[in-house]
Amino acid sequence: MALDDAVARELRALLGDRFVLTEPEQLRVYDCDGLTGWRAQPAIVVLPGSTEEVQAVLRLCHRRGLPFVARGAGTGLSGGALPVADGVVVSLARLNRILEIDLASQRVVVEPGVANLDVTLAVEEAGWFYAPDPSSQQVCTIGGNVAENSGGAHCLKNGFTVNHVTGLSVVLPDGELVELGGKALDPDGYDLLGAFVGSEGTLGIATRITLRVLRRPETVVTLLAAFRTSDEAGGAVSGVIGAGIVPAAIEMMDELTLEAAEAAYHPGYPDGAGAVLLVELDGVAVQVDEDEAAVVEICRSCGAFDIRTAAEETERALLWKGRKGAFAAMGRVSPDYYVQDGVVPRTRLPEVLRRITELGREHGLRVANVFHAGDGNLHPLVLYDAKRGEADRARVLAEAILAACLDAGGSLTGEHGVGVDKACAMPQMFSEDDLEAFARLRAAFDPEGCANPGKVLPTPRLCGEVPGPYRMHPLERIGLAERL
């Protein structure tokens, strides 16, 4: 149902004029997330300032049968926060308070619009940190992290978001408020908390989130190991894990990524490297020393020609800056890129990386690789130039890479979610029965299907019709028009 003026008036009465946006130039800001190839203009954007206001908005949507999409910072890379055309976007930006710091219980309670990094900043002086650290952590929100079950470089040892959320207040699509979990671990009954984390905005809106924080480790050591080839680096990853060492992080960057990151941030990555591993070890000093010696030995035996340990905090931060800023640095080597997110069994990393290189060659496009190697979570960045009409080819190549991950026994997303981007790929991994079970779970929370419709589960409309990936207008192609 399209929105009428009465709806806008009712929302203004609920939230105040300032927090209900209807002008086209205001709505445009919300027309996509980090997957910028997909765009749709909502009819209205609301910015509620409390749980009660979120409830009132969803009650109205429920009454009117209006589709709504929750939005955090809009950094998602799978189109999860892509608006439904003519629907409502519920921005959680104003719900950005840290409500409680309870270190005696190892818990921090936040509103969903709090940025990920702000949780660590709030507790670090007292010697604590929040472990899941997406590379977008300076801006992405805890609400978005919960919805995507986000990961990050340091999730190898400590686990993904799902392992760090113990409680949620959730506004269901009919406006009812429910409590899932609390401060204690493992609540009784069905694991509805686990079902909500990673549900990509399809089960309701989280308005209050209880997080587990961890003590800072006694010692942290960051090593850089440079190899001539990705094969060698992949071998070292398997070697480290196979030796029973669990680093806080093992990240890999290939030659193209190193070139871009070096140009953007100058971290001093070694010349001539075909791949670099960043290995971080943390824990008690004696154990870290022992593990460091073992990791150095394994890397050497796998062909590392340069191994360095960051001597001080500033050097360590710079090495990480190159890795965490790698996506943003791609602008140095390509006008456009598409981020793929797939998982492969760690032992098959070298083989899949070779296959990705072959696929890039077959499709005539370059692919840079930067990823959470310890988890086997690949992020191939398909480089293309939209102005030269390469966008469709990039998408086809990205899909072929995903198929290669699945063929190797992997999964279609590691941490960026399914969203709109991969809904059509779901049947490649899940059977019809699986998909039916997902749909029934979803319907138990949202029988009317108003919460983020068209995402995650494939529907004929999504897989065949608009909104679709951006295609260049002929006028743009010949340089007479520009997309802003």
Ligand X SMILES: Cc1cc2nc3c(=O)[nH]c(=O)nc-3n(C[C@H](O)[C@H](O)[C@H](O)COP(=O)(O)OP(=O)(O)OC[C@H]3O[C@@H](n4cnc5c(N)ncnc54)[C@H](O)[C@@H]3O)c2cc1C
List residues binding ligand X (CB under 6 A). Answer: 33-34, 69-77, 80-81, 92, 112, 134-136, 140-141, 143-145, 147-148, 150-152, 200-201, 205-206, 327-328, 415-416, 452
Three-state DSSP class for 453?
Answer: coil
Which is nearer to ligand X, 204 or 235 (by Cβ)?
A: 204
The 8-class DSSP code of residue 430 comes to: S
| Beta carbon of residue 423, minimum distance to ligand X (angstroms, whole number) | 12
Q: Which amino acid is at 301?
A: S
| Beta carbon of residue 477, minimum distance to ligand X (angstroms, whole number) | 27
The 8-class DSSP code of residue 319 comes to: H
| Beta carbon of residue 410, minimum distance to ligand X (angstroms, whole number) | 16
| Beta carbon of residue 341, minimum distance to ligand X (angstroms, whole number) | 8
Which is nearer to ligand X, 151 or 303 (by Cβ)?
A: 151
Of 90, 68, 85, 72, whose CA–CA distance to 33 is shortest?
Answer: 72
Which is nearer to ligand X, 150 or 334 (by Cβ)?
A: 150
Render 224-276 in DSSP notation, one character per residue: EEEESSHHHHHHHHHHHHHTT---SEEEEEEHHHHHHHHHHH---PPTT-SEE
Which is nearer to ligand X, 369 or 452 (by Cβ)?
A: 452
| Beta carbon of residue 54, minimum distance to ligand X (angstroms, whole number) | 9
| Beta carbon of residue 415, minimum distance to ligand X (angstroms, whole number) | 3
Three-state DSSP class for 299?
Answer: helix
Specify whether the CB–CB gap between 78 and 469 falls below 8 A. no
Which is nearer to ligand X, 110 or 302 (by Cβ)?
A: 110
The residue count of the chain comes to 484
Which is nearer to ligand X, 299 or 412 (by Cβ)?
A: 412
Specify whether the CB–CB gap between 404 and 358 falls below 8 A. no
Of 150, 411, 366, 362, whose CA–CA distance to 254 is shortest?
Answer: 366
Residue 29 to residues 14, 197, 204, 470: CA-CA distances in angstroms? 23, 27, 23, 17
Straight-line distance from the first to the last Cα atom of the chain, in angstroms, rounded to the nearest whole number: 29
| Beta carbon of residue 328, minimum distance to ligand X (angstroms, whole number) | 6
| Beta carbon of residue 76, minimum distance to ligand X (angstroms, whole number) | 3
CA dihedral sign of residues 251, 255, 257, 262: positive
Which is nearer to ligand X, 140 or 213 (by Cβ)?
A: 140
| Beta carbon of residue 376, minimum distance to ligand X (angstroms, whole number) | 14
- Backbone φ and ψ of 299, nearest 5°: -60, -45
Which is nearer to ligand X, 49 or 239 (by Cβ)?
A: 49
- Backbone φ and ψ of 231, nearest 5°: -55, -45
Residue 232 to residues 68, 130, 268: CA-CA distances in angstroms? 48, 33, 21
Which is nearer to ligand X, 42 or 80 (by Cβ)?
A: 80
